[in-house]
Amino acid sequence: LLGKMLECGMLERDRQTLKRRSASLLKHLMVDEMLLMLLQAEDILTGNMAESIMAEPTSQKRSWHLLQILPKRGPGAFSCFCAALRETNQQFLSDMLTQCPERDGVERHMKVDGNVNIRCHSMEFSLDADSPIKSPVLPCSADFYHSHCQKAYSMTSSPRGLALVISNVTFDPSVTTELDTRKGGEVDNEVLRKVFTELDYLVSLHVDLTAEAMKSCIESFSRRPDHRAVDSCVVCLLSHGVEGAVYGTDGQLLQLDWVFKAFDNAHCPLLQNKPKMFFIQACRGDEMDVGVEQIDGPIRTGSPSCEQRDAGRERQNESHPGQGGHDGRRIKLPQRSDMICGFASLKGTAAMRNTKKGSWFIQDLDMALRLHARDTHLADILMQVKSFFGFFLFFTAIFISSV
């Protein structure tokens, strides 16, 4: 009886709204574990349904699968879906579904946060500068891809690659008193998870790890057999730091040189000849410019609410790895190749972070990827990001968003 009720229970008005907005939902909807957990908590989805949705290989297919199920899940499915959208920072999609003129026969203009007009029937969303909603990631055109694919890395696998995000926000006060909570760091986590999911990466997020746990996590990730079937890899490390290292929550340092080594051609053969992208949000020293809002570090400055410092001192350790490769007639590879690393700050300087909006580097990286991933080499994208400094070991271009 319950199954029958759920099968036919959605109101026709709600069913038609989902149908009319399906194209936009397929384009913009972010279906992830959090969204599905919220729907499961309201008994809109079963565990098996959530698993089958997450098993879909692309973000768009996950969205399509969910939209096929929702109309059959009872009269409360529509309102629960809209509530889940709001909980996962997809307010604009909830507004699109609940406040559009087709639902009451009247075309109207709405206010979002008291600032910005949205005209539903045109599907145009103009949001205020403080809104977390970003431009969707768009694929490159077929013409652009075919005219550049011979000069670029292959980025056609689905998923496009695996992405690892390790973010340390809260540090253990019993072992270190110099490393304050990185307020705003949780915003960065969500930003990175969303943008790389939209770019069709399988994202693994780990929060508040000791240095040893970070090392173990990275080792496990670098050895995943899934790397064989994908075209690229992303690693994001967010923490307090010094030149050449980042802190674990226990105040111990993880050397970045070790991180890069874990993904080189000798230690991670499944990623040979594939682009490996690293993004490091951490300080590399104590120096700072005058007039900044916030820095990412352990010693508080004069501001009581939003200024912090994230710096320590560590002897610079520059190692020069030997050459890797195979003997005989095989072509030898350098031990480290096909890597790019974007740092949030220059050598010797502090990284900037806003306690409400997240770090400057991650904010700018997110927007630059969303606007330019479809037709711009990653090295050129990073040059548009404020406070960026990186080393480049790519031999061909990366266009992250492909057809």
Active-site amino acid positions? 240, 283
Tokens encoding 330: 């095989």
What are the C-alpha distances in Å from 247 to residues 85, 238, 280, 316, 356? Answer: 34, 9, 12, 15, 22
Instruction: Extract the tokens encoding 291.
Output: 């007039």
Q: How far apart are CA 160 and CA 231, in angstroms?
A: 6
Contacts of 151 (CB under 8 A, 6+ apart): 396, 397
CA distances, 66 to each of 40, 196, 219, 280 (Å):
12, 20, 34, 34
Torsion angle (degrees, nearest 10) of CA 227, 280, 194, 252: 90
364 backbone dihedrals φ, ψ, rounded to 5°: -70, -40
**In which residue are the tokens 């709204």 written?**
17
C-alpha span between 246 and 281 (Å, rounded): 9
Residues 13 and 143: their CA atoms lie apart, in Å, by: 40
d(CA 383, CA 146): 25
Task: Reply yes or no: is the peptide bond before residue 159 cis, omega within 30 of 0.
Answer: yes
Burial environment of residue 173 by CB neighbours within 10 A (0 to 12, 13 to 18, 19 or more): exposed
